[in-house]
């Protein structure tokens, strides 16, 4: 394509000083044609180089010169047209818009070509400056090319050419980014490159961050940073800051917070600095704050002052929030005082924490008001002290309740009301004597065995409530809440942790029953014993444990009922093993029945001995009587189910029943004088079994006599239907039997 010369406009305007429409049109058409031709050549050139990858010989300077010639010629023609149109505006108002439209279209084509050339030139200049390590210049050309490519996309461009140019731009950015990353590693050197979370002390003490002012080539870090910031399309600089901050946190800040046996040391060697992890004998929180300040200050000074604000702020965004959480979790929470004396000395730590936060804000790592978690935590030390004390007490209670349940102590006489008398103090001698008499008569817990751990647990409850009386209101409220939580802990641990022992050992099951009932016994009066001495609002009606009593009692009752069901099932299994009382006069059948009854009786006697050692006397009699009642009930049911009882079978049944009556009564008590009373009270079916044995050896006349017209002994234990059924099974169908049956009616 021939270059534009200075004669084009002269040839157009030389014949007349007044520009006519024909000449203007011809000039515009020629310029448009040439600009379009040049645009095509440039597109073809870029397509060949970046799409088809053909060889390229023309230079960027030639393209730029041709663009400048077209622009110069277009400007001269536009000036002449504008001058001429001013004089002819009145006569050419209808023609001017068309001419200006054509000029505008030509200008757009020229602008498109100019942008296309600027993208290409940017690529070429970027390549030329990459190898000589002129990174800032290279980044500037890439930035210019990126802006030009964006303009091409907005004004329309060949899709294939645009995609190729965009790929080329991305490749160049990546290549420059790799170079910058390599240069950055010369200034900022990590040792080791990574550190595992489970790093041992040997690995921690090998951590080092070495910072160099300039490299061997003399290239300053500021130029690297400036080039990184120019790569805005890739967000290279923000990502580099985040990557550095995360590594700084993982390699230095996190280990310093978690491991109290390490510190940091900063050393200088010429123009270089080295930040190292070293072993520390005693690493207090104030030392930790100094170490973190050293690490962050050193990191802040890596870049020059012009970039420090952005650099520091973005490091703070990555580090500060998690750092505060770790300091609270691993340092401040463990520094919470354990007693009131330590609490008074906690102010110094609070002041140091506030200064540390102020320093973070001052250097720009945190914004004002956004990094107050640490100081806020220390200011709330009273609530944390109460919470920590509560946690310690709950942990202590948990450890107590996890001790074996079978280690027991015997409760001979409960002292719950005497605690109240001793604690209350004051009052006249007569009042104390009256109260003492009341204590001997009311709220007495029966003699039994409870777990030693439960006794210790209840003593802990009393000691906590005594502390509540001498504590300020917030702490007292927290401690009182802890006592209530301890009751929930009691129910949870004793019903889950000791579940297997309770299910397998009858003695442990009954000890657990006693434990629950003993705790419930104390909970009834526990709040009333202390509420007058507690600070407000606990000294009102809210200081009570009465609402927890049903929960604890229900837990004990469930254990008791579960144990009774399990033992009843075992006894019924023995009784079902002989398969009924038919033909019991046969030796084999008789031995089977007697063997099953012997097993059941021995099981009850064994359980009676076990229960007698742990249960209160009343509960022991009720439990053993209940088990006897199960056996007796099943035995009576089996006899009543017989429809035909031979004389020999009746005789054998009489013998078997009498033998069980004689030996089974000893399960409740070895004292024969009290056996009948106990059996009558706790085994309601015992009298029915005794009368059943009588029926097995009685005559019709005797049975009718014992029935007594519905008011005799037999009528007290048998229904008419049951007794009539026995008569039918024992006696043949005769007139005498019919007469006897007629007398046994409702």
Instruction: Say what the pLDDT of residue 632 is.
Output: 92
Sheet with 262-269, strands from edge to edge, namely 188-191, 208-212, 272-279, 262-269
Instruction: Say what the pLDDT of residue 619 is.
Output: 92
Instruction: Say what the pLDDT of residue 122 is.
Output: 63
Q: For residues 312-326, b (16+ Cβ closer than 10 Å) or e, as one string? A: bebbbbbbbeebbeb
pLDDT per position as a tens digit, 670-681: 777 777 788 888
Beta strands (DSSP E) in 440-507 are 448-451
pLDDT at 531 over 60: yes
Mean pLDDT along residues 61-81: 66
Q: Which of 155-159, 442-446, 655-659 has the lowest mean pLDDT?
A: 155-159
Phi and psi for 260 in degrees, rounded to 5?
-80, -5
pLDDT per position as a tens digit, 448-478: 999 999 999 999 999 999 988 888 888 888 8
Instruction: Say what the pLDDT of residue 1 is.
Output: 33
What stretches of 195-333 show up as alpha helix (H) in DSSP?
A: 201-204, 221-230, 236-248, 254-258, 285-300, 305-327
CB atoms < 10 A from the CB of 597, how many? Answer: 21
Instruction: Say what the pLDDT of residue 14 is.
Output: 42
Question: Which domains does the chain possess?
Answer: 7-130 (no CATH), 187-379 (no CATH), 382-412+447-548 (no CATH), 560-743 (1.10.357.150)
Mean pLDDT of the chain: 78
Instruction: Say what the pLDDT of residue 425 is.
Output: 42
Instruction: Say what the pLDDT of residue 274 is.
Output: 87
3-state secondary structure of 259: coil
Q: Which of 212-226, 231-245, 501-515, 690-704 has the lowest mean pLDDT?
A: 212-226
pLDDT per position as a tens digit, 634-688: 999 999 988 888 889 899 999 999 998 888 888 887 777 777 788 888 888 899 9
First to last CA, the chain: 135
Distance of CA 452 to the CA centre of its chain: 35
pLDDT at 329 over 80: yes
pLDDT at 70 over 80: no
Surface-to-core class of residue 362, CB atoms within 10 Å of its CB (0-12 exposed, 13-18 middle, 19+ buried): exposed
Q: Provide the token pair at 631.
A: 């056996």
Instruction: Say what the pLDDT of residue 4 is.
Output: 32
Instruction: Say what the pLDDT of residue 156 is.
Output: 57
The percentage of residues in the chain with a pLDDT greater than 70, rounded to a whole number, is 69
Mean pLDDT along residues 130-151: 65
Beta strands (DSSP E) in 337-474 are 408-411, 448-451
Q: For residues 483-510, b (16+ Cβ closer than 10 Å) or e, as one string? A: bbebbebbbebbeeebeebbeebbbbbb
Q: What is the pTM of this model?
A: 0.62
Q: Which of 179-183, 464-468, 707-711, 714-718 has the lowest mean pLDDT?
A: 179-183
């Amino acid at each position: 394509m021939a270059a534009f010369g200075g004669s084009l406009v002269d040839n157009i305007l030389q014949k007349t000083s007044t520009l006519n429409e024909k000449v203007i049109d011809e000039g515009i058409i020629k310029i448009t044609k040439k600009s379009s031709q040049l645009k095509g050549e440039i597109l073809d050139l870029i397509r060949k180089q970046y799409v088809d990858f053909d060889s390229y010989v023309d230079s960027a300077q030639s393209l730029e010169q041709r663009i400048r010639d077209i622009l110069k010629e277009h400007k001269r023609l536009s000036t002449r047209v504008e001058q001429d149109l001013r004089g002819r505006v009145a006569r050419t108002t209808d023609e001017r818009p068309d001419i200006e439209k054509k000029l505008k279209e030509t200008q757009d084509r020229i602008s498109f070509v100019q942008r296309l050339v600027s993208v290409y030139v940017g690529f070429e200049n970027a390549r030329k400056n990459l190898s000589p390590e002129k990174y800032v210049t290279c980044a500037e050309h890439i930035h210019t090319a990126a802006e030009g490519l964006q303009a091409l996309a907005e004004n329309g461009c060949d899709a294939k050419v645009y995609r190729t140019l965009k790929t080329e731009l991305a490749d160049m950015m990546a290549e420059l980014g790799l170079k910058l990353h390599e240069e950055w590693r010369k200034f900022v050197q990590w040792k080791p490159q990574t550190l595992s979370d489970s790093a041992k002390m040997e690995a921690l003490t090998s951590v080092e961050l070495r910072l160099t002012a300039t490299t061997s080539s003399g290239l300053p870090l500021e130029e690297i940073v400036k080039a990184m910031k120019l790569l805005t399309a890739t967000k290279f600089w923000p990502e580099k800051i985040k990557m550095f901050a995360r590594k700084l946190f993982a390699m230095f800040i996190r280990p310093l917070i978690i491991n109290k046996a390490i510190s940091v040391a900063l050393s200088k060697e010429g123009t270089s600095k080295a930040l190292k992890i070293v072993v520390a004998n005693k690493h207090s929180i104030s030392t930790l704050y100094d170490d973190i300040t050293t690490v962050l200050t050193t990191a802040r000074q890596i870049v020059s002052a012009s970039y420090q604000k952005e650099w520091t702020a973005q490091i703070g965004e990555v580090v500060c929030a998690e750092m505060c959480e770790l300091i609270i979790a691993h340092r401040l929470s463990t520094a919470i005082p354990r007693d009131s004396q330590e609490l008074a000395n906690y102010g110094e730590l609070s002041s140091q924490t506030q200064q540390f936060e102020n320093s973070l804000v001052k250097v720009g790592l945190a914004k004002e008001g956004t990094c107050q978690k640490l100081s806020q935590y220390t200011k709330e030390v009273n609530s944390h002290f109460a919470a920590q004390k509560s946690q310690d007490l709950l942990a202590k209670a948990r450890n107590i309740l996890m001790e074996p349940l079978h280690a027991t102590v015997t409760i001979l006489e409960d002292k719950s009301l005497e605690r109240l008398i001793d604690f209350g103090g004051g009052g006249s001698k007569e009042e104390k004597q009256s109260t003492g008499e009341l204590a001997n008569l009311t709220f007495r817990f029966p003699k039994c065995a409870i777990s030693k751990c439960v006794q210790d647990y209840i003593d802990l409850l009393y000691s906590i409530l005594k502390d509540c009386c001498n504590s300020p209101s917030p702490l007292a409220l927290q401690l009182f809440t802890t006592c209530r939580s301890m009751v929930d802990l009691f129910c949870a641990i004793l019903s889950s942790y000791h579940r297997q022992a309770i299910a397998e050992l009858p003695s442990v099951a009954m000890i657990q029953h006693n434990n629950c009932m003993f705790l419930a016994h104390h909970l009834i009066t526990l709040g009333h014993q202390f509420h007058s001495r507690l600070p407000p609002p606990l000294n009102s009606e809210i200081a009570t444990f009465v609402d927890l009593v049903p929960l604890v009692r229900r837990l004990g009752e469930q254990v008791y009922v579960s144990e009774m069901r399990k033992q009843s099932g075992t006894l019924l299994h023995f009784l079902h093993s002989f398969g009924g009382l038919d033909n019991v006069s046969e030796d084999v059948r008789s031995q089977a029945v007697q063997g099953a009854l012997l097993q059941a009786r021995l099981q009850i006697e064994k359980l009676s001995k076990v229960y007698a050692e742990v249960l209160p006397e009343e509960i022991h009699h009720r439990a053993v009587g209940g088990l006897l009642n199960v056996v007796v009930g099943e035995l009576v049911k089996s006899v009543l189910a017989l429809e035909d009882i031979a004389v020999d079978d009746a005789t054998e049944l009489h013998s078997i029943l009498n033998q069980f009556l004689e030996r089974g009564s000893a399960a409740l008590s070895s004292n024969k004088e009290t056996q009948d009373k106990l059996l009558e009270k706790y085994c309601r079916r015992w009298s029915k079994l005794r009368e059943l044995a009588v029926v097995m050896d009685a005559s019709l006349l005797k049975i009718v006599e014992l029935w007594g017209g519905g008011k005799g002994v037999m009528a007290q234990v048998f229904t008419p239907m049951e007794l009539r059924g026995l008569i039918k099974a024992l006696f043949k169908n005769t007139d005498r039997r019919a007469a006897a049956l007629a007398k046994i009616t409702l």
